[in-house]
Structure formats: structure tokens, C-alpha cells
Structure 1
Amino acid sequence: MRDLRRLLRPGSIAVLGSGWAANVIEQCRKMGFDGPVWPVHPTRDQIAGAPCFRSLADLPAPPDATFIGVNRHATLDVVAELAAMGAGGATCFASGWEEAGEADLQARLVQAAGDMPILGPNCYGVINYLDGALLWPDQHGGVRVERGVALLSQSSNIVINLTMQARGLPVAYVACLGNAAQVGLAELAGALLADERVTALGMYVEGIDDAVAFADLAEGARAAGKGIVCIKSGKTELSRTAAASHTASLAGGGAASSAFLRACGVAEVATPAELIETLKIFHHCGPQIGPRLCSLSCSGGEAGLVADLAAPFGIDFPPPSEAQRQRLGDILGPIVFISNPLDYHTFIWGDGPRTTDVFTTMLAGYDAGIFIIDPPRPDRCDPSSFQPALDAVVAAAQNTGKPAFAVASLPENFDEALALRMAAPNVVPMMGLETALGAIKAAQRGPNRGGWRPWPVMGARRLRMRDEASSKALIAAAGVAVPRAVTAPTLPELAAQAAGLTAPLALKGLGFAHKTEAGAVRLGLSSLEGQAEMAGAQGYLAEEMVTGTVAELLVGLRRDPVYGATVTLGFGGVTAEVLADTVTLVLPVTAEEVAQALRRLRLWPLLDGYRGRPKAAVDAAVQAVMDLQALLQARPALEEIEINPLMLTATGAVAVDAVIWEEAE
């Protein structure tokens, strides 16, 4: 692991270029950087009022950090010279590398850098708001802080937009990766989190280059008490076997990346606003909040709105305890109905001590509290009457040691100045009710399983498909139940061998990835006599049909080019894509994690005895998944195993269709 401290916390900065270099110098001045900034230019006497050095060799000392704002070909020579002179690191601004089809040029850049860390190329650079050091050629919206969160992005424009936030989030660092030719995502993130003044990390991620390193990063951050929240873009992942696999199509759309972040204990959000609000929670409250929430407002309408908007996030509000009911009733009087969400009416409005008593009493019984409060706009109204309620939120957090979220239902109703005044340990001013609820849900993400790491990634390879009979033989040997069956190259031979099977029977043609679509499945047969040939069949399979079925599941395990391997679970059969009721996990998984995943399915009640139906043997399904995981792990040549459907009865689970893709010999 490279040492990035000189690059991120420089005592001296060199800048190369002209216009871009001038911007870097001006930004350092505006931010009050107290170290030397040395412009280097072969012909100019000064840049932005700072005297120029003719060459790097003329500098008083090797710079800790260098902004390289020259063209890509000149960048190669500059990087090589900086590395040779013992510089601390550089950001490479120029574009036109691998993203433009110049992979060889980018490889030469990495070779020129050697052990010296470089960010980019095609990279804006880094801002250190703690020390006022900027290798940044553009405007930004940040200010000096003593502690705060780090923002790391694979898009320069996205992170520039984030710096313009007016939501009271203290930002300590901004860093861009560009092409990440040398320093990767996890490496730069780890270096930012290593600064004790950094409280949390927010990331905009287009691609994860090293899943194992990322899992290491996440576990280390949690151990240090620092939360990570991520926007993952580019979620559509095309599989090498997508055309022939239900699993591949159902596990797309970001399912694998979301499953990986969940396994790592990283909070995932969808929007920049949610990213900022979640970071505020992590900054003020630590890396995780508990699941038991209360909500308080002085309006029944607001209480109902909170309940309605919280439901899609899976947030509910447990009722107050009897002791809380009695105490709150004593304070608020008989007219107020004590519930959660609580409408405390306006009987105590403006009474600071009684409001504090209500807020403290309610919050004490929960892990965290939402306090809906929209101060009137100060340019047209007098907001002073709201101050007792705002003070009571802060007092409740101090009295209980619990997180208190002061939430404005509209983001513009809580301005930055007020947010900064209120912010304190366990006190989080939040802008926008729906955004706040999304952030709160994200912050409830639990820690990853200690020591969990994804499997290694397998390289691209040529694949072949096993036929159903061969696939079933392999999974049966691994412990998964399959129907009694016979195979034969022709239908007459099959009919003779099937005499010992018990009807009803299923007749299948071998050699098809999707037999139903190919017309290669016939069900409910009492015998095989007189059956017509199936065009394109490479042999035939006859098997006893499963009776007493409670549900049909899809179970698909496949290698993943980023995350090692995944398992997708859902309701299956021929309508698997129509139902699209699936969950995806990144391997390895435990039996308990598989059971929890099944309970997240929308149609879980059908497995759990809905309206008097028999309960499915879910334990048998879980065991089948664990057996298939062991099979995939033991045989690296296997690429994908799909069971669709896995028939669940009240007593067991039987794989009635199986397709396996494996490396071609």
C-alpha cells in the first residue's frame, strides 16, 4: 500500500501548466494554505502573481504534492522526473488515456510513476479543507473545517456539485480518482479515512476495481467508528451468459452491486441529497443508528405524512411504553392521543421546559427520534416562536444520548445557517422529509459479518452447457434432491426404460437452455407411448413429477466479474422474469443469511402458510442453497448453476430443472 500522506496533506505544492495552474494557486490562496506553492513553467516569469521556476530541478526541494496541468505526452516526462526526485505524489489532469483508447499510454504513465502515488489521469485532483491545501483547478463550494467527512468520486462534476451543498455538512476532503490508473478506489478511500479528523466517507462509484480490498476498507472503517455511504451508478451489468440464463437477467440492474455493499455494511443511497443527509447522520451520530424510531410533530397531518412516507422505506414506529404514555399524558393532557408518530398538538408551544420534557420522554424509549419542524422563512416571517422547540430537540439529545433528527418537511425551510447553529453530537438538522427518511434507513444498515470477503474473481473463459441430466447428476451428488428419472438417446428407448417410474411423468428434450420456449417439455403424462419427437433434442429425459407443491423457487448461483460469485433467490418457474421477485446475495453466505433473504421476498407469505396454505419446507430450500454454494466453491470450472424451479413441498425441496454452465475443455 502506497503512502499517500504527503499527497493528501502536503507541506509544499508544485503546479505545472498555465491557466489551470493559475486556478490552483488562486484556490490555495483563498483557502489560506500556509505552505509554499511553486509554479513551474519554462518561459513564464510568473503565474497568478507567483514567481515561476524554469524546471522541476530548480525547485528548493522535492514537492510533497504536484498538480500536473500539461498535455498527456508531457505528463509522462513530468511524472518520471517527479518520481526520480522523491516527490510525494501528483494529480494528472490531462485526458486522452485509456478512456480514449490509449491504454498503452496509460500503462507508460504508471510505469513512469513507479512507487510515487498519482491520482488519475483525467482527474481533477484533491481538496484538503482541513489544511487548506488544494490541487484543484476549478471552483468549489467548501470552506475550511477542523473535522468533517470525506467525499470521493469517480466523477469530477458530481463531486463539484456536492461541494455546493448548503445543508450544513462539514466537508474535510474532496478527492477524485479519474481513470484510477495506479491509486485505486479502496486505496484512496483508506488514506482519507486514516486522517483522524475525518468522521465518515461518502462515495460516488461507477465501478469497484477490487472487491476484496473494498471489503477490507469497509470493515476497517467500521472498526474505527466511521460510516461509509455510497451512490453506485452504472448498475446494469451484462453477463457472459445473459442470453441463456434467468439468473443473469434477474440479477442485473445493480442487484449484485447492492448485495455487495450490503454485505460490506456500506450504506447505499440513490441521490446526492440522500448521500449528504446520511453523511450528516454518520458525522454527528457515528456509523449506525438503531431500528426503533419515534416521530414527533405538532400536527396530525405531519404525523400522518411521516407514517405514509416511511412505509416504502420499511420504517415503522413502535408504540410508546405504558410508562411513556402515562408521563406524556400528564404533560400534554387528556385531549392528546399518545401514539407513535406523536402529534403533541400546540398546547405546549413556546413552553421550552414542557416541550423539552415531552421530547426527552419520547426519545428516551427509542434508538432515535424524528422531530418535524419547519421554521418560517425569516425574510417574510418571524421565526422566533420556533426557537423553544428547536432548543428542545437539542436538549432531548443531550438528556438521552440518543440521535435526534430535526427534520424540515421541505428542504428550503431549514437554511444552512440554522443547520450549522443546531448541529451538535447526536443532533442532526435534516432537509426534506422524504430525503431524511431515506437517509435514516440507509444509516440503519448493520455492520458486515466480521471477516467476510467475497470469493476471488474468475477470468473470462469459453463456456459450455451441461444437459439437464448431467446437471442433475452433479447437484444430486452434492446433496440436492432431484426426481427419479431415466435418460435415453431416443423416445422408444426412453419409453422402455421408464417402465419403473410412477406417473404422472415429465418428458423433456435435452440440450436446450430454455426447454419451455423450445417446446421441449411435456408434463402430466401417464405414459410415454406414442410421444412425438422433439426437434433439436440431443436425447431425452423422463422423470417423476413432484406432487404436493407449495411453491416454486428459482435458485441461481453464478460467477461475477466484479464480486466473485452471487446467488439469486426468488419465485421461479416459467414466469420468473414476470414476477421478478428476487433477492441477490454475494457469496459466501451463511444459512441464516439465506433464510433472511427468503423472508425479504414480496411473496414470502406464500412460503409461510398464507391464509391456511401449508407451510413450505424452507429449511430444505436453505440447505439446497448451501449445498450448491459448496459445489460451486469446490469446482472452479463451474460458471453458473441454475435450478428453476426448486419445488418446495411441506416436507422437502426437489430440483426439477437444472442447467449448469462450465468452462469448456
Structure 2
Amino acid sequence: MTRDLSRLLQPKSIAVIGGGAWCAAIIDQCNKMGFAGEIWRVHPKGGDGVFPHIEDLPHAPDAAFIGINRFATIEAVAVLSKIGTGGAVCFASGFSEAASEDASGAELQAELLQAAGDMPILGPNCYGFINALDGALLWPDQHGAERVAKGVAILTQSSNISINLTMQSRALPIAYMVTCGNMAQTSQAQIAAALLDDPRVTAIGVHIEGFGDLSHWEDLAEKARARGVRIVAIKVGRSDQAQAATISHTASLAGGDTGAQAVLDRLGIARLDSLPAFLETLKLLHVTGGLVSNRIASISCSGGEASLAADTAHGRNVVFPSLNDRQRRDLAAALGPMVALANPLDYHTYIWRDQEVMTQAWSGIVDPQIALTLVILDIPRGDRCDPSEWDIALDAAVAVHEQTGGQVAVVATLPELLPEAVADRLMASGVVPLNGLEDAMQAVEAAALDVPALQAPLLVAAGTEREGVVLSEAEAKMRLAKHGVVIPKSARGSDPNSLAETVGFPLVLKGEGIAHKTEAGAIALGLETVNAVSIAAQNMPCDNFLAEEMIEGVAAELLVGVTRDPAHGFVLTLAAGGVMTELLEDSQSLLIPAKREDIKRSLARLKWAKLIAGFRGKPAANNEAILDAVMAVQDYVVANVDRTLEVEINPLLCTPDRAVAADALIKEVPADGAV
């Protein structure tokens, strides 16, 4: 159920329930930040404007902070819900997050949810939130936030990380800081979606420990896309997928947090690796709203800095395009013949202190083909040096933005060499201050990420994990063939000679009932005679065999697999196939259902794609046949969602004419069981 969180997050009246320093701090902080609404205190002792009971309040508050023990919290929530409160923050811990230490925690959480009814609650076990737009703080501790007119919203599942992020000195205006606790009722994605209704929010950052209901995240991503507000994330933790991996190469390739990354990719949420990069990206998004491309320019007065900018971008999805004729003419007119014109640009130091020429030169590199122009400036520390002459360069950067209308950022190679006062000054002028070159490049890459259009809802892995059974290779192939997978001509039985007569030559002989046939010596390729088939069968550790036609003219071998990830849905993995799977670890992962064009793009990102396209004059594989095979595997999973645990084709033999499943595996819940 989607709840209206607007009253809670943008309150005009606040009730603080409880005693002690925690609750006193909330009232004090609201007053300091200039909250214009009503604030009431509730405590059994009453006195001095304090109400002894919630029912004594003048009217139902828009928001309540409940700073009492977990048992009393449940009682307070019930009363608040009954009188029509807009929502509450539950500060107390000891609910489901403590169930491993206290068996009553889960039961108490159920009671809390029942008491809340339709009233939104944040937590339990959370610090609440800071609304720096309206000066409303349901927040019981220190913080570094200040009143802003607009800014970014940050949501975390860690109260301590939230506190630390408010202390940043990077000139990032934080409009909302929200802690989500254990999200007993209202999910992180639902809170973020509610914040999108506030037009003063310029971007959203989420610190995610676990996704929970994926449909909430799909709704959030679509709403953000419609509103033109970008979302970035830090995703921590690992799924159980790696531990659940058992028999297939796919399960190994899709281990760790591959599913989590696939979720973020699908939703168009850029993922950052560190808190500094997270903050710098939010800052860039706050000013620009997102970059139209990954094409940038860099300006510095040092060849070393120009090289450093290029090297820092290397390996990232960031491009320094060559200068066009117009840029070269304008730069040459400003800088003269002694400067080598390139991007990144070293403009030399002889124009330093001349703001007019600096503005002219830097404006020359701004161009429609450039999404962001980086001006590299490290401000000397003011306690030991005189940074005043850098004001000319800062004014030139602002003038470039104002005169050209292009997006401009001032970047310090070292984070500490862009003081907060300078960053504030740039931010107020529409120039992005970026602290640290490495984090700046991560921010550019993230801000330039394409946000995909809405896709069909994710295929959800319902139920709990349990053991499954592995079908025989022949049965797996027959199942997949019914959905369109091309399989070789084959025959099964205990008499290899009879099988050879049925299939014809050349053929492949496989021992049945063996998962990893190559390692067990249970596969023989390219057999041309009955005698060769007999000898091969005698050397295999089995009594039953599968004979198949030998697929010739193979351009490339691929792995196509699907694993059931309880946290993230069904993960479709594409990788180099055959014996190269483990050696290359070359893979791409998507979530089901995936569009054909997205699968095509993922295939193109494989290193193995060079073989598919035809390497060194060899014939190319039939790309459409490969896509047909992948879509057929996906169709099988969709049709058997309640039972499927793993599916793998390895290798898919790709020829100029067709794509054939040479080996297949299906692991599923037995017909008499349920996932």
C-alpha cells in the first residue's frame, strides 16, 4: 500500500513524545533552524507547556517523534493513529532487527504495524529525518545541516552514516536527510518516491543495504524519470547467490551482488563506490540535473594536470573528444601560436591574472559537443599562502558559464584544495565545485548515465529457497526446444553403436548423469566411425549415453544462463562459453524480462563479441539466431517461474547460420514441491 507521506515529511505541526536530551534536542534544533509551525512536547509529568497525554494535544500533529521504549512506542503509535496523525518516527530499537538476540522482536514489530494501521511510520530503530527546506527536524542528535531553498535528498539505512553526511563541507545543499531504520512498514523506495513530490528536491541519493520489494523501486524509478530527477546509490552488502551456487557456471558468474547491480542498471540508478564520489555526484546533479552525454573538456595551466585528467578518466565511460575547427580557431585567437591545442588543454600560465583573456580562452573550448567543461584549479591553503589571485580564475570560470550557457565545473585535484567558502561561491553562480579529480570523474560518469524507459515488471523469485533436482541433459534440451531453442539431432540409450547409426557422422558422444562431463572424461567430440564410438563409450564412467550430431563451422561459443536470486529476481547471464567460461570470466548480466535490444547491447559488451562478429576474416556468427536462443531461454523461465532454480546452455554453438544448444542444464523444484 502506498501511503501519503507528505504530512510527515513536510509538517506544519510536530509532537515530541518522551523525555531526556534526545527529545529536548529536537525542539531546540527546530527552533534554531527557524521552523515556523507548532511544536508540542508530550510527557506524563506535564507542566510548563508539556502535555501529559497525546490525547491532550490541540489537534492531531502532522508528524510525531516517539522517543520512548519499544513497548510504550506501540501504545503511542496506536493513539497517534487513532487521532489522525500524519505520521511518526519510531526511535526505539528492539524490533525485528534484534530478532536474533530477542525472539520477541518480530512479534513486537507485528504489533507495531497493527497499531499504526494506515498511519505512515519511519523505522523503528531510526533517527528520523531533517527537512532543511522548512526547518523541520525530527532528529535527536547533532547534525551539520543548514536551511536551504532547494537541494538534494539523501536516504540511508544507517543513522550514523546520515549524521556523517550532514557534516560534509563540500557546499552540497542537503534538502532532506532521511534515515529509514528497519523499514517495518514504509520502504526506502516509497520514502524516496514521496520526496519526488517536492519540487525543491533536485536529486536523490540512496544508501542501500537491501532492496526489499522490487516493485517499489520500479515505481520510484519510473516516477523519477517522469519528473526528470536523477537517482544515485551506494549499494552495500552481498546477496546469498554466491553461497547458493551449486552446479552451474552461471551460478558462479552471477554470484555476489551481480543481481543487485543488474537491478540498478535496469532502473537507471548510477552506483558509486564511495561516500565522497556519492556526494560529488549529487552536487553535479543538483546543478546540472544530469549530463546530456559523457563528452567533456578539461582546461588546466599545467601539462601534468592535463595528463592527469586524461589518465583519471581512462577506463571509465568518459570521453575527451578532439577539438573541432571552431574550437581550434577560437582557442588560437585567444592563446596564440605557442600553445598546443588539444583536449585536455594545457593553456600555459602566461594568461594568468588576465581575467578577460582567461574567459575568452576557456569559452573557446565550450561547445555543444561538450556536456561539461572542467576547469582544474587548486586553491592554496589560506592559513599559509595568499589565495587571493585565484579569485581572478574563479571569476573567469563563472563568466564562461554565464557568457556561453555551457555547464562548467571547477575541479580541485585534491579534495581539500577547494575550500567550502569558494565552493559556496561557485555553486551560487551555477558553476559546479568538485572536490577531487578522481571523484569528479566518477561523478561525470554517473551523471551521464542513460536512464532507460519503463520495462515490463521484474520477474519475481517468489517463496523461500530450497533444494531442487537436476534434469538430464536430454530432458533439459527437450524442454528448452519447446520454447524455441535449437538443439542437435540426437539419440539416447545404452548401445552407443545403435545411437551412432541413428544420428550419423560426425557425432558427439556424451555420458549421461554427469554434470561436468569434460572433467569426468564423459564427452568425445568429432567421432567419425562406429569403432571410434565404441572405444569412446568404453572409456566413459557410465552405462547410458547421449549421441548428437557434431555442429561444425562454429564461430563462437557462448554461455546463456539464468539463476534464481531470492533478493533480486531471475538473473540472465551471457558469457564466453565452453572451456573459456571460467578462464575469461567475461560476462554480462540482466534481469528477466529483458528486452531483445538490451540483450543485443549486452552481447556487444562481451570481449567475446569480437569472435561473434567474425575475427580476423573468419565468418561471423548469426547474431539474430543467438538472440532468438536467449529469448527462448527467457520464455522458458517466464513460463516456469514457480519451479525454475537454474537454467544453463553451455556452450551455445554459434555458426553463420544458427545457434545450437550443445549442452543444457535445468535445475528445478520437483513437481510435488514449491519454491
Q: What TM-score range do you get, normalising by the shorter chain?
A: over 0.9
CA distance in 2, matches of 1:546, 1:194: 58
2:424 to 420, 435, 458: 420
Residue matched to 1:280: 283
Q: TM-score, normalised by structure 1?
A: 0.94
CA distance in 1, matches of 2:504, 2:307: 59
Q: Which moved more, 1:306-315 or 1:607-616?
A: 607-616
Report deviation, 1:244.
1.8
1:500-579 paired onto structure 2 within 5 Å? 500-526=502-528, 527-530=532-535, 531-532=537-538, 534-535=540-541, 537=542, 539-579=544-584
1:467 aligns with 2:465: no
CA distance in 2, matches of 1:452, 1:376: 53
Q: Which moved more, 1:473-482 or 1:509-518?
A: 509-518
Report deviation, 1:251.
1.3
For residues 153-182 of structure 1, the C-alpha deviation after alignment (integer angstroms, 9 at most, x for no partner) is 111111111111111100011111111111
Q: Contact 2:95 / 2:109 at 8 angstroms: preserved in 1? A: yes
1:41–1:538 Cα change, 3 Å: farther
CA distance in 2, matches of 1:385, 1:619: 62
Residue matched to 1:9: 10
1:103-142 paired onto structure 2 within 5 Å? 103-142=106-145
Q: Which moved more, 1:305-314 or 1:506-515?
A: 506-515
1:657 aligns with 2:658: no
For residues 22-71 of structure 1, the C-alpha deviation after alignment (integer angstroms, 9 at most, x for no partner) is 2222222332223332222223646xxxx422111222222221111111
**Alpha carbon RMSD of aligned pairs, Å?**
2.0
Q: Contact 2:574 / 2:588 at 8 angstroms: preserved in 1? A: yes
Residue matched to 2:102: none
CA distance in 1, matches of 2:403, 2:497: 79
Report deviation, 1:420.
0.6
Residue matched to 2:384: 380
Residue matched to 1:28: 30
Q: Which moved more, 1:301-310 or 1:609-618?
A: 609-618
1:122–1:284 Cα change, 3 Å: same
CA distance in 2, matches of 1:627, 1:401: 49
Find the residue that maps to 2:621 and give its secondary structure: coil
Q: Contact 1:288 / 1:446 at 8 angstroms: preserved in 2? A: no
1:620 aligns with 2:622: no
Residue matched to 1:411: 415
Q: Contact 1:486 / 1:497 at 8 angstroms: preserved in 2? A: yes
CA distance in 2, matches of 1:402, 1:253: 41
1:52 aligns with 2:50: yes
1:273–1:546 Cα change, 3 Å: same
Number of equivalenced pairs: 657
Q: Contact 1:225 / 1:287 at 8 angstroms: preserved in 2? A: no
CA distance in 2, matches of 1:328, 1:214: 47
Report deviation, 1:189.
0.6
CA distance in 2, matches of 1:538, 1:185: 56
1:82 aligns with 2:84: no
Unaligned runs of 5+ in 1: none
1:213–1:538 Cα change, 3 Å: farther
Q: Contact 2:67 / 2:92 at 8 angstroms: preserved in 1? A: yes
Letter aligned with residue 660 of structure 1? I
1:320-359 paired onto structure 2 within 5 Å? 320-359=323-362
Report deviation, 1:590.
2.1
Find the residue that maps to 2:481 and give its secondary structure: helix
Letter aligned with residue 473 of structure 1? M
1:257–1:243 Cα change, 3 Å: same
Q: Which moved more, 1:448-457 or 1:105-114?
A: 448-457
Q: Which moved more, 1:449-458 or 1:257-266?
A: 449-458
1:643–1:424 Cα change, 3 Å: farther
CA distance in 1, matches of 2:175, 2:135: 10
2:296 to 283, 293, 297: 293
Report deviation, 1:206.
0.8
CA distance in 2, matches of 1:631, 1:115: 40
Q: Contact 2:241 / 2:565 at 8 angstroms: preserved in 1? A: no
Letter aligned with residue 660 of structure 2? V
Find the residue that maps to 1:313 and give its secondary structure: coil
2:442 to 435, 438, 453: 438
CA distance in 2, matches of 1:82, 1:601: 56
2:646 to 630, 640, 647: 640
Q: Contact 2:491 / 2:502 at 8 angstroms: preserved in 1? A: no
Letter aligned with residue 647 of structure 1? L
1:134–1:600 Cα change, 3 Å: same
Letter aligned with residue 42 of structure 2? V
CA distance in 1, matches of 2:470, 2:399: 65
1:538–1:381 Cα change, 3 Å: farther
CA distance in 1, matches of 2:608, 2:489: 29
CA distance in 1, matches of 2:582, 2:354: 57
Find the residue that maps to 1:216 and give its secondary structure: helix
Report deviation, 1:331.
1.6
Residue matched to 1:182: 185
Letter aligned with residue 469 of structure 1? A
Letter aligned with residue 104 of structure 1? E
Q: Contact 2:42 / 2:53 at 8 angstroms: preserved in 1? A: yes
CA distance in 2, matches of 1:450, 1:134: 35
2:496 to 494, 497, 500: 494
1:335–1:603 Cα change, 3 Å: farther
Residue matched to 1:198: 201
Q: Which moved more, 1:378-387 or 1:93-102?
A: 378-387
CA distance in 1, matches of 2:465, 2:376: 56
Q: Which moved more, 1:90-99 or 1:455-464?
A: 455-464
Q: TM-score, normalised by structure 2?
A: 0.93
1:657–1:241 Cα change, 3 Å: farther
CA distance in 2, matches of 1:494, 1:424: 80
Q: Contact 2:496 / 2:547 at 8 angstroms: preserved in 1? A: yes
For residues 613-650 of structure 1, the C-alpha deviation after alignment (integer angstroms, 9 at most, x for no partner) is 44333332222112222222233343332111112234
Q: Which moved more, 1:33-42 or 1:316-325?
A: 33-42
Report deviation, 1:662.
2.5
Q: Contact 1:285 / 1:403 at 8 angstroms: preserved in 2? A: yes
Report deviation, 1:125.
0.6
Q: Contact 2:280 / 2:440 at 8 angstroms: preserved in 1? A: yes
CA distance in 1, matches of 2:453, 2:38: 46
Find the residue that maps to 2:234 and give its secondary structure: strand
CA distance in 1, matches of 2:243, 2:477: 22
1:483 to 480, 485, 488: 488
Q: Contact 1:461 / 1:663 at 8 angstroms: preserved in 2? A: no
Q: Contact 2:15 / 2:39 at 8 angstroms: preserved in 1? A: yes
Report deviation, 1:464.
2.2
1:501–1:468 Cα change, 3 Å: same
1:560–1:270 Cα change, 3 Å: same
Q: Contact 1:486 / 1:494 at 8 angstroms: preserved in 2? A: no
Report deviation, 1:241.
5.0
Report deviation, 1:399.
2.7
Q: Contact 1:148 / 1:199 at 8 angstroms: preserved in 2? A: yes
Unaligned runs of 5+ in 2: 100-104
CA distance in 1, matches of 2:188, 2:524: 52
Find the residue that maps to 1:67 and give its secondary structure: strand
1:386–1:538 Cα change, 3 Å: farther
1:546–1:337 Cα change, 3 Å: same
1:629 to 610, 634, 649: 634
CA distance in 2, matches of 1:478, 1:603: 26
1:160–1:633 Cα change, 3 Å: same
For residues 551-607 of structure 1, the C-alpha deviation after alignment (integer angstroms, 9 at most, x for no partner) is 221111233323332211111223423321111111222222112112222343333
